[in-house]
Amino acid sequence: YVINDFTAVAHSLPVLAQDQVVQIGEGTPVAEGNIAVFGPGTGLGVEHITMTSSGWQTLDGEGGHTDFAPVDETDVVVWRHLQKQFGRASAEEVMSGRGLLNIYTALALHGGNTPVFTEPAQITLAALENTCDIAVATLTQFCRIMGSFAGNLALNMATTGGVFIGGGIANRFPEFIKSSDFRARFEAKGQMKHYVKDIPTYLIAEPDHGLLGAAAYLQQHTAS
């Protein structure tokens, strides 16, 4: 079998143990409910997985290339920068390694400052060490944007089984995410707030979750 990397990630979600994830905020999963996962990394992977009569089935798509929808004034600053630079603001341009750089550059220029960081890791380190106000603001906004995006995924597919964050970026700062506005933005869905409030959100902490998912996929598809 040959499967997409994010298909493997999605198949890991139903088998991840409690100590392999970090829950962000409240919410309780519904057994065999729809699940979503997104992963900021080099790009932005997005996948849904749903239970069918033949087992778990992924729903493939290109969710990382959907439009970035600004929610607050800082989002608008970032959106305008992306529109000017690329002619379009996609979700991947704010939720990825280069997304961190895009947010940082937008906020720096908006404040009349010259951007000095050229790598996402520099921004993350400066934010976590609290040595650069713009870096802190960047990581703060990154978490807010992720929260809004996760909430949209929850509404799109009624993900009562939860929304998970994968990828190679977010697991570097779990405590920052937990103390950020991620969950507040996830729940900020107007009249649907009470619906999404019950849906849990998790950060995948298991480094080999893709391998676990591939094994789960193989087991399901070779079972007699």
Hey, where are the domains in the chain?
5-65+144-222, 73-143
Residues ≥6 apart with Cβ < 8 Å to 107: 74, 77, 78, 134, 137, 138, 141
CB 101 within 8 A of CB 120: yes
CB 168 within 8 A of CB 130: no
CA distance 206 to 21: 7
pLDDT digits (tens, 9 = 90+) for 93-102: 999 999 999 9
CB 82 within 8 A of CB 93: yes
Q: Which pLDDT belongs to residue 4?
A: 86
CA distance 23 to 35: 14
Does the domain formed by 5-65+144-222 have CATH 3.40.367.20? yes
Q: What DSSP assignment string belongs to 45-101?
A: EEEEEEEETTEEEEE---GGGSBP---SHHHHHHHHHHHHHHSS-BGGGTSSHHHHH
Phi, psi for 58 (deg, rounded to 5):
-80, 150
- C-alpha distances (whole Å) from 93 to each of 44, 145, 194 are 9, 11, 30
Q: Which pLDDT belongs to residue 224?
A: 53
Q: What rounded mean pLDDT belongs to the chain?
A: 96
pLDDT digits (tens, 9 = 90+) for 106-121: 999 999 999 999 999 9
Q: pTM of the prediction?
A: 0.95
- End-to-end Cα spacing for the chain: 16
Q: Which pLDDT belongs to residue 2?
A: 83
